[in-house]
């Protein structure tokens, strides 16, 4: 069966350094394995704002053509020639 060089390296590394696996499990418990509060999760999911279809170009707003944050005029992309 084929075994890549990277797979052999990782297996050999972990055999020579068993403390790495323990450290991985400890760090995972620090960041991922935490009890979840379902009420907080529900509140956060309901309070999210939907992202526009194309977030990288500001579109005109109904309240005017000037962005209140930057003072720049807003415009729509022009059509290619």
How far is the CA of 35 from the CAs of 32, 40, 48, in angstroms?
9, 12, 22
Q: In which element (H, E) is residue 61 found?
A: none
Q: Which residue has the higher pLDDT, 64 or 35?
A: 35
Radius of gyration of the chain (CA): 25
Provide mean pLDDT across the span 2-22: 95
CB 36 within 8 A of CB 53: no
The number of angstroms, rounded, from the C-alpha of 71 to the middle of its chain's C-alpha atoms is: 30
pLDDT classification of 62: cutoffs 50, 70, 90? low
- What average pLDDT score do residues 59-78 get? 59
Question: Cα(11)–Cα(7) distance, rounded to whole angstroms?
Answer: 6
């Amino acid at each position: 069966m084929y075994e890549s060089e990277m797979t052999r390296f990782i297996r050999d590394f972990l055999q020579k350094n068993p403390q790495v696996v323990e450290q991985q499990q400890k760090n995972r418990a620090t960041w991922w394995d935490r009890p979840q509060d379902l009420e907080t999760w529900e509140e956060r999911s309901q309070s999210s704002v939907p992202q526009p279809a194309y977030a990288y170009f500001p579109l005109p707003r109904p309240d005017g053509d000037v962005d209140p944050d930057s003072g720049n005029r807003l415009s729509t992309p022009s059509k290619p020639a």
